[in-house]
Amino acid sequence: MAVDELDTRILRLLLREPRTSVREYARILGIARGTLQARLDRLERDGVITGTGPSLSPAALGHPVLAFVHIEVTQGHLDDVGDALATVPEIVEAFSITGGGDLMTRVVARDNAHLEDVIQTLISLPGVVRTRTEVALRERVPYRLLPLVESIGHAAAN
């Protein structure tokens, strides 16, 4: 789905000021509220906007340890293992990948001992052959989309 310059202005505003009302967004952008709402509905329908909830900090929730766990899966069991991963609350994301392993998960834990317990849980899942864990030391670039949206906006304007 192609986004135009107005779409990128809307997305930029949503990212910069996420708690503003639709009416205020329309005023800031200088467009009719109905136009803005139609654009927002289309962006949601097309999967560009995927959520509106708050961003939460696992560290502030008592889980400051972040690790990436690569999981090698027995051939033919990828879906089963993926379903089982969804039952482990400390797994905040999981992706099928290429390269070394079949799945990569982002895991949060209270401390290193808790991380070890989570890894042991993963190893015990039927279909898991082995895991490889990398512990994150410090976040260098937080999850962000504003620079991407701005780049797309510049391209759409030219």
The backbone torsions φ and ψ at residue 136, rounded to the nearest 5 degrees and listed phi first, read: -80, 135
Dist. CA 66–CA 110, nearest whole Å: 9
pLDDT one-digit tens code per residue, 86-107: 999 999 999 999 988 999 999 9
Contact 59, 109 (CB under 8 A): no
Residues 6+ apart with CB under 8 A from 9: 29, 153
Half-sphere exposure (Cβ direction) of 81: Cα atoms closer than 13 Å: 28
Q: How confident is the model at residue 1 (pLDDT cuts 50, 70, 90)?
A: low
pLDDT one-digit tens code per residue, 9-64: 999 999 999 999 999 999 999 999 999 999 999 999 999 999 888 889 999 999 99
Q: How confident is the model at residue 154 (pLDDT cuts 50, 70, 90)?
A: confident
